[in-house]
Amino acid sequence: MSVLVRVANLRVSFVTRQTRVEAVRGVSFDVRHDATLALVGESGSGKTVSAMSILRLLPENAIVDPASRIDYGGENLLAAPGARLRALRGREISAVFQEPMSSLNPVLTVGEQVAEVLRLHRRMAPRQALERAAELLAEVGIPEPRARLRAYPHELSGGQQQRVMIAMAIANEPKLLIADEPTTALDVTVQRQVLELIARLRERHRMSVLFISHDLGLVGEIADDVVVMREGEVRESGPTQRIFNAPRDPYTRALLACRPRLDTRPRRLPVIDDFMRGAAAPGAPLERPPAGANLVEAKGLRKEFRLRTGWFSSKSLVAVREVSFGVTRGRTVGLVGESGSGKTTVALLVMRLLEASGGEARLEDTDLLRLSGAQMMAFRRRIQIVFQNPYASLNPRMSIGRTLTEPMRIHRLGADEGERIERARRLLQRVGLPQDAMHRYPHEFSGGQRQRIAIARALAVEPEVLICDEPVSALDVSVQATVLNLLLDLQEERGLAYLFISHDLAVVKYMSDEVLVMREGEVVERGAPEAIYRAPQHEYTRKLLAAIPRGLEGRKFGDGALTSSGTQP
Amino acid sequence: MAAVLDVTPENAWTALWRRLQQDRVGAVSLGIVVAYLVMILFAGAGFLAGGWSREVGVPYANPAFIGERLNLEGVLRKRAEHKGVAPDLSAVDPLAPKYAEWERRTGELKMSEPERSMTLPWGGDRWGRDVLDKAIKGSQVSIAVGVTAALCATLIGTLLGAFAGFYGRWVNDFLEWLYNVFTSIPPILLIFSLAAVLRSGVFAHLFASGIWMVVIILAATGWTGMYRLVRAEYMKHRSREYVLAAQAIGASSASRMFVHILPNVSHVILVQLSLLVVAFIKVEVILSFLGLGVPVDMVSWGTMLSEAQTELVIGKWWQLAAATAFMAVFLTAFSMLTDSLRDALDPKLR
Amino acid sequence: MVPTLAGVILLVFLLFKFFGGDPAQILAGQVASQEQIDAIRRELGLDRPWYTQLGIFVREILSFDFGKSWMTREQVSAIFLTRLPATLTITIPILLLEAALAIPTAMLVAYYRGTLLDRTVMAICVAAMSISFLVYIIVGQYVLGFLLGWFPVQGWSDDFWRNLLTYAPLPILLAALVGLAPQTRLYRSFFLDETKNDYVRTARAKGLSEPAILRKHVLRNALVPVVTNVSLLVPGVFVGSFLLEIFFSIPGLGREIYLAVNRSDYPVIQAVTIYLSVLTMFINLAADVLYTFVDPRIQLR
C-alpha cells in the first residue's frame, strides 16, 4: 500500500524566555493509505507534537527545523503557505483531540459547530449544512440527531461530545484522521465504543488514521503499524504483529512487559530500568498472607449530597449506597469502578475527610465516624491516605523536608526537630529518593517521584492502614510499576492493610486479595481477583472486563477490526 | 517535551526575582519605584522638602528655566518689600502722616523674613511656595495614603475572603451578605457618605490632621475586590489534594488556612495589592482635589491640582505640570512593575 | 435582594447615626440657642430611642418621603428627579461610546498580540492611565474650550437637544477618551484569555483563518466577561461623573451630592444612597438574566 504522508527528519523545539527545549529530535515515519498508524509513547515523548506538525497546529513558540519535511500529495506541508494549510485542515486532514469538553465551543450549539466545517470547505448553504450535520450525528451514533443539533456541548456526556468531534472531523471525508488520545479522558466502557466507531468509519470512508496513545493494549488491538517514541526520538517502528511478538528495542520490551497482566501475578513488576540494563526476569508468583481478623471494617457506608436548586428546594444525590468491606493486616482490598462510581468518596468517608450520611467504619473496635475532632486526631496516626494526583497532593510552596516533618510534629513523634529530620531522611531513602530532596520543592520532581514523596509522607506517622486512591493513574506506565512495587514492598515489610482504589481493573487485580466492583455508589460484585476475572457474575463486571484493551489478543482478525463482545482467546 | 529539571534548589520567591531581572521593562520600572521610595523616605524624615510650606518665592514665581518674564503679582510683591520714599499726600489724605508714621515704625522692626526670590527651580504657587518641594512632599503624602490604604484593604479583604472561602456554609453566607451590602452602594456614594460623616461627625476632631480619614474611606470602600479574589482562591484550594492531605495528617483549620493555603495564594494577593495602590492613589488625588481628602495643612498631588485649575487660566502652568509629571511617572512605573510581576508569577509561563 | 437591602439601610442608618454629627446642631447652625436645638431635636424625632428612629427611617424610605433638604428646603425626591436627566444626558452616551470603541480596539490588539504594535499600544495605555482624570478635564477644558473655542467651557440649558449637541460633547469626549485606555486593556485580557482555550485549537484544525476565529468563536465567548464588566458600570451611569458635573457646571445628581456633602446635608445623601443601591440591585438582577442569554451554561435558579 502506498504512502499517504511521509514525515522525514522532523525536529521541533520550543522557546521560552530562558530556555530552548527540543521536543522532537529527528523523527521519521510513514502513514500508509487506508491503514492505522499508532504513535505510542509516554508523556514527554513528543508524539503529540510530531502528529500536530502535520497540520502545523503547534503553539506560537514552536520552531520547526527547516531541514524537516512532511510530504503529502507531492508537496512539503512544512513549507506550504498558511492558506494552503487552512484549505487542507478539516477537509483532507482532520484532527480529534483528547479533551472533548474543552475542545468544543461552549456557547455555540453542536449543530452550528458541525455545520461550520461543512460551510467553510464546501460552501454549503446554512440549511443544507444543518441537514448534513444531522446525518453525520446519526452516523457517529448520537441518538435523536435532529434534536441534538440545538444542544450545547455541556448538555452532552463525554462520550457523546467525542462523537460530535469525530463527526466534525469526518464531515468532509478526509483522507487522514489524526486522533490525539481520543479516549484517554473517557471511561473504559465508553472508550470501547468510540474505538469501534473510529474503526468502522475508517473502513467505510477508506481513510487513514494516525492514532496517538500511551496505552499499548489499545494500540495492539487497533493499529496496523506502530511507532514507539521516547523523549523525542523513534525507538522502534514496524507492523504491529512484529512489534508485539518480537520487539527489538529494550524500551519497547519494557513498555510491553511492565503493565500488570491479567493472567499472571508476579512478585515484582518489571520496570523500565530492568529492561534497559537487560536484566529482566518475570519472577516468581506473589505470595500473600492468609485472611484473618479484620483490622478495618466498613458497614453500610452511605453518603448523600444535598444540592440547593432554589431558595427552598433541594435535590439529593446519593454518591455511596450501602458499601461494606473488611481489610486484614498485610492484605489488600481493591475497589474498582469508573468515574462517578463513588469509590473515591468511600476513601474520603473512611478518612473522615468527608462526613458520612450513614453507616460505620471501624478501626479495630472504634467507629471512626462517631468520633469527635479531637478523638479523631489519635486515629489519624493509624490510618493514612495517598492521593491520585501527584501534582496536586504536595503543597507547592513547602519544601519536601517540611512536608515530611509536619505530620510528625503534629502527632509529636520524635523527641526534637533533629530527630524528625533524621526520620524524614530515612523515609526518603526507603522510597528511593536522594537525601538532598529535603530542601527542594515539588515542582523539581517528576510525577513518579512526587508520588513516592506522598507515600513517604503517609508513612511518616507509621500508620497501620493505608488508603491508596488511584495512586498510579496519573503516572506513565513505566513509572507505575516502580510505585506499585514500592507499595507491595512496604506492605510486606510493615504488614500494612491497604484499601486500593482504581479504575484500572488490571492494576486492581494485581494488587488486591479481594476485589469489589462498584457502580453508581453500589458494590455490584465482590470476590477473589481470579474469580472475578475468570467468571464474572454481574453484567457490569463482564462489560468492564470486555472493555479492557488486550493488545494483540484483542484482535479478532489480522487487520485490526474490533469486535464488540471481546471474548477471551 | 523533555523535562528540564532545576539543578539549584529554588523556591517561588527567588524564581520570581530571577525572572524579574530578565525583564528589562520590569527592571527599569523597579528602579524608578525604588527611587521614589527613597525620595519619600527622605521627605518623610524631613531631610527633603521639609520647608515646602514656607513662602520662599514671590507669588507665581516663574520656574528657573523661564526666567524673570512678566510676573505682575510677583513684581508687585517685590516692590512691597523694598519701600521707597512715599510721596507726601497729606494735602489730599488726612491720614497720610499716620501712614508714614506706621511705615517708619514697621520698618524699624527687624523682620527676619528672608528676601523672596523672583524665580524658583520649578516655579512657585500663588503664595510663593516652592512647587518642586510641594511636588516632592505631595508625592510622599499621596503615595503614603495609597500604600497604607491598600495594605488595610488587603488585610480586611484577605481575612474575610479566607474565612468565607475556607469555611463556606453560614460563614460564607454572612460574609456574602456583607459583600453584597457594600457593593450595592455605588462606590462614590459610599465615599461621599463616609467623607460627610467623618468630617462633621463625632470623630471629626480625630481626623482633623493626618491621613487616616482618607485611608479609612479608601479601605472601607476598596476591600471588596480583594475579598472576592481571595474567597475564590480559597474555594479553589480548599478541595485541592494537598489541603486534604494536610487534613489527613491532622493539621488544624488555622494551619490549613494560613500555613498551607496562604503561601499558594500570596502571589495573587500581591498583584491585586499593587493594583489597589494605583487605584487608591488616583482616588485620593480626586478626593484631595475636592477638599475631601487630606487636611488643609498637608499637600498632595490632588491639592496641587486644585490650585492648578485657576492658575492655568492666567497662564501659570508649572504647578499642573509638576504634579502631573511626578504622578504620571510613578504610576506608569508602578503599573509596568505590576505587569512584570504578574507575568513573572504566572505558572503557565514557567 | 431583600436581606441586602435591609443591610444597606442598616449600614446607612448606623453610619450616619453613630458616626455623623448631631443633626440638630448641624441644622440649627452655628448661632442657635439650646432651646432652638432641642426644638429641632424633637421635630426630627432624635429624642426617641434608636430603634424607633430606625423605624422612622425605614418608613421614610418606603414612602419615598425623605423630607426636605436641610439647606435648600427642597423636597429630596424632587431633587432626585430634577437632577437625573442632566446626569443621564452625559453618562449614557459615555457608556455607549466607551464600549463601542473599546471592543474593536481590543480585538485589533488581540489579533496583533505579541507584536511591537501591541506592546506599544499597551504602553501608551498604561501611561495614559497614569495621568489623573482631573488633568484631562482641566487641560481639555482649557485647550479645547478656552483657547481654541471649539466647545463651550461650561454651561447647561433647559433644552435637551441643545444640551446634547452643544454642552454635552466636550465632557462626553473627555470621559470616553479617558475611559478608552483601561477598557481596552481589560477587554484585551478577556480576548487573550479566550484564545488560550482548547476550542480555538479545534477551530484552527477545522481550517478557519485567525480573523474568522476571533470573530466567530472568541468574540462570542469573550462577551461573557464583557457583559459582566458593562453591567458593573451601569449603576455608575446614574451617579454620573460628578467631576464632569462640577467642572462643567452641569446640574446633575453627582454635583448635587457633592454639594450636599460639603454642607453636611444628611437627608439628601442618605436618600440618594439608598435609592441608588436599590437601583444597583435591580440592575444586577437584570444582568443575571442577561447572562442566561449570553452563556448557555448558566441557568436561572
DSSP code per residue over A271-315: -HHHHHHT-----PBP--PPP-SEEEEEEEEEEEEEEE-SSS-EE
Chain C adjacent subunits, 3+ CB pairs under 8 A: A, B
Q: How many CB atoms lie within 10 A of CB A81?
A: 8
What chain C residue is nearest to B190 in terms of C-alpha separation? C273
What is the rounded CA–CA span in Å between residue C22 and residue A286? 87
Contact list in B for residue A375 (CB cut-off 8 A) is none
pLDDT at B256 over 80: yes
User: Nearest-CA residue of chain A relative to C296?
Assistant: A107
Cross-chain CB nearest to B331 (options C130, C264, C273): C130
* Residue in C291, A168, A19 with CA at minimum distance from that of residue B3: A19
Q: In Å, how far are A368, A406, B166, C115 from A353, measured between CA atoms?
A: 11, 18, 14, 49
Share of chain B above pLDDT 90, in %: 38
Q: Write the residue in B186, B313, B324 that is nearest to C239 by C-beta.
A: B186
Compute the Cα dihedral for A224, A228, A234, A235 and give only its sign. negative
Would you call C138 and B286 a contact, using CB atoms and an 8 Å cutoff? no
Q: How many residues does chain C have?
A: 301
- Report the alpha-carbon distance of residue C155 to residue A324 in Å, rounded: 82
Higher pLDDT, A168 or B115: A168
Kindly list the residues from chain A whose CB atom is less than 8 angstroms away from the CB atom of residue B22. 17-18
- Angstroms from A313 CA to nearest CA on chain C: 10
Q: Report CB contact under 8 Å: B189, C272.
A: yes
Closest C-alpha to A489, from A432, A437, A423, A449: A432
**How many pairs of residues across A and B have Cβ atoms under 8 Å apart?**
96
Tell me which chain A residue has its CA closest to the CA of residue C197.
A102
Residue C294 contacts A, CB cutoff 8 Å: yes
Question: In sequence order, what are the residues at sequence separation of 6 or more whose Cβ sits closer than 8 angstroms to the Cβ of residue C5?
Answer: B184, C277, C278, C281
Contact A309 C295 (CB under 8 A): no
- Each domain of chain B, given as residue ranges in start order, spans 57-126, 132-349
Average pLDDT, chain C: 82
Eight-class DSSP state of A443: G
Question: Nearest chain A Cα to B11, which residue?
Answer: A441
Looking at every residue in chain B, the average pLDDT score rounds to 82
Separation CA A252–CA A258 (nearest Å): 10
CB contact under 8 A, B289 and C131: no
Which of C8, C129, C261 lies at the smallest CB-CB distance from B335? C129
CA angle, A130 as apex, A128 and A135 as ends, to 5°? 100
Alpha-carbon gap, residue B115 to B249, rounded angstroms = 76
Q: Is C132 in the A-facing interface, judged by CB distances under 8 Å?
A: no
CB–CB of B250 and A407 under 8 A? yes
Rounded to whole angstroms, how far apart are CA atoms A427 and A449?
13
Average pLDDT over residues C66-71: 65
CB contact under 8 A, B327 and C132: yes
Longest dimension (CA), chain B: 105
Question: Within an 8 Å CB–CB cutoff, is residue C8 touching chain A?
Answer: no
- Amino acid code (one letter) for A402: R
Which of A347, A363, A355, A373 is CA-nearest to residue A303?
A355
* Chain A CB contacts of B9 below 8 Å: 436, 439-441, 444
SS3 A142: coil
The span from the CA of A413 to the CA of A407, in Å, is 8
User: Which residues on C lie below 8 Å from A94 (Cβ)?
Assistant: 205
CB C201 within 8 A of CB A165: no
Contact B185 C280 (CB under 8 A): yes
Nearest to A47 by CA among A289, A217, A211: A211
Helix (H) or strand (E) holding A242: helix A240-245
* Residue A443: CA count within 13 A, CB half-sphere: 14
Say if residues A468 and A386 touch (Cβ distance below 8 Å): yes
Measure the N-to-C terminal CA separation of chain B; round to a whole number of Å.
14
Query: How big is chain A, counted in residues?
Result: 569
Q: Which of residues 220-259 of C touch B (CB under 8 A)?
A: 235-236, 238-239, 242-243, 246, 254, 257-258
Tell me which of A272-286, A476-490, B168-182, C91-105 is least confident. A272-286
pLDDT tens per residue across span C114-155? 788 888 888 888 999 999 888 998 888 888 888 888 888 887
**Could you tell me if A99 lies within 8 Å of chain C, comparing CB atoms?**
yes
What residues have CB less than 8 Å from B202, skipping those under 6 apart? C18, C19, C20, C21
Bridge partners for A227 per DSSP: A39, A237
Q: Among all residues of chain A, which has the CA nearest to that of C223?
A: A107
Contact C290, C231 (CB under 8 A): yes
The helix or strand, by DSSP H or E, that contains position C221, with its residue range, turns out to be: helix C219-239
Residues 6+ apart with CB under 8 A from A186: A158, A159, A162, A194
Q: Is C8 on the interface with B (CB under 8 A)?
A: yes
**Which of residues 1 through 60 in chain A touch C, CB cutoff 8 A?**
55, 57, 60
Q: What's CA A301's distance to the chain center, in Å?
A: 28
Task: Tell me the three state secondary structure of residue A475.
Answer: coil
pLDDT 10s digits, B45-98: 877 777 777 777 777 777 776 666 666 666 666 666 665 545 555 566 677 677
- How far is it, in rounded angstroms, from Cα A11 to Cα A67? 8
Q: Is B102 on the interface with A (CB under 8 A)?
A: no
Does the CB of C209 have a partner CB in chain A at under 8 Å?
A: yes
Cβ atoms of residues B293 and B350 within 8 Å:
no
Interchain contact, A348 vs B245, CB within 8 Å = no
Task: Give the model's pLDDT for residue A569.
Answer: 33
Which chains touch A (3+ CB pairs under 8 A)?
Answer: B, C
What CA–CA distance (Å, rounded) separates A344 from B238? 17
Interface of A with B in 416-435 (CB under 8 A): none
The shortest C-alpha distance from A25 to chain B (Å) reads 11
Q: Does B4 touch chain A (CB under 8 A)?
A: yes
Measured between CA atoms, how close is C200 to chain A, in angstroms? 8
E strand spans, A20-141:
20-32, 36-40, 62-64, 69-72, 75-76, 93-96
**Domain B132-349 coded CATH 1.10.3720.10:** yes
How close does chain B come to A43, measured CA to CA in Å?
A: 7
Residue B8 near chain C (CB below 8 Å): no
For chain B, the residue count is 350
Confirm or reject contact between C129 and chain B (CB < 8 A): yes
- Beta carbons of B4 and A385 less than 8 Å apart: no
Whether the per-residue pLDDT at B11 is higher than 80: the answer is no
Q: Which ipTM score applies to this complex?
A: 0.84
Q: Does C162 touch chain A (CB under 8 A)?
A: no
Cα separation, B268 vs C301, whole angstroms: 31
This model's pTM is above 0.90 = no
Contacts of C26 in chain B (CB under 8 A): 200
Q: Which residues of B touch A457 (CB under 8 A)?
A: 245, 249
DSSP B130-193: BHHHHHHHHHHHHHHHHHHHHHHHHHHHHHHHHHHHHH-HHHHHHHHHHHHHHHHS-HHHHHHH
Does the beta carbon of C204 lie under 8 angstroms from any beta carbon of chain A?
yes
Q: Does C198 touch chain A (CB under 8 A)?
A: yes
Helix axes B301-313, B262-290, angle to 10 degrees: 30
pLDDT tens sequence for chain A (569 residues): 689 999 999 999 998 777 888 999 999 999 999 999 999 998 888 999 999 999 999 988 899 999 999 999 889 999 999 899 999 999 999 999 998 988 999 989 999 999 999 999 998 899 999 999 999 999 999 999 999 999 999 999 889 999 999 999 999 999 999 999 999 888 888 888 999 999 999 999 999 999 999 888 888 888 999 999 999 999 999 999 999 889 898 888 888 887 777 776 777 777 766 666 666 555 566 677 777 788 888 999 999 988 776 667 788 888 899 899 999 999 999 999 988 888 999 999 999 998 899 899 988 888 888 888 888 888 899 999 999 888 889 998 899 999 999 999 999 888 888 999 999 999 999 999 998 889 888 988 888 899 999 999 999 999 999 999 999 988 888 788 889 999 999 998 999 999 999 998 888 988 899 999 999 999 999 999 888 888 889 999 998 888 888 777 777 543 444 433 333 33
Question: CB of C201 within 8 Å of any CB in chain A?
Answer: yes
CA separation for the pair B38, B28 (Å, rounded): 15
Nearest residue on chain A to C299, judged by CA atoms? A309
Report how far apart the first and last C-alpha atoms of chain A are (Å, whole number).
30
**DSSP strand pairing (A358-363 vs A294-308):** antiparallel
- Residues of chain C in contact with residue A60, where contact means CB-CB under 8 angstroms, are 114
Q: Which of A38-47, A204-213, B188-197, C234-243 has the lowest mean pLDDT?
A: C234-243
Pairwise CB contact (< 8 Å): C205 & A60: no
Chain C residue numbers touching A91 (CB-CB < 8 A): 207
B touches which chains (3+ CB pairs under 8 A)?
A, C
Q: Please indicate whether, in this complex, the C-beta atoms of A399 and B11 are within 8 angstroms of each other.
A: yes
Task: Inspect the interface and report whether the beta carbons of A55 and C205 lie closer than 8 Å.
Answer: yes
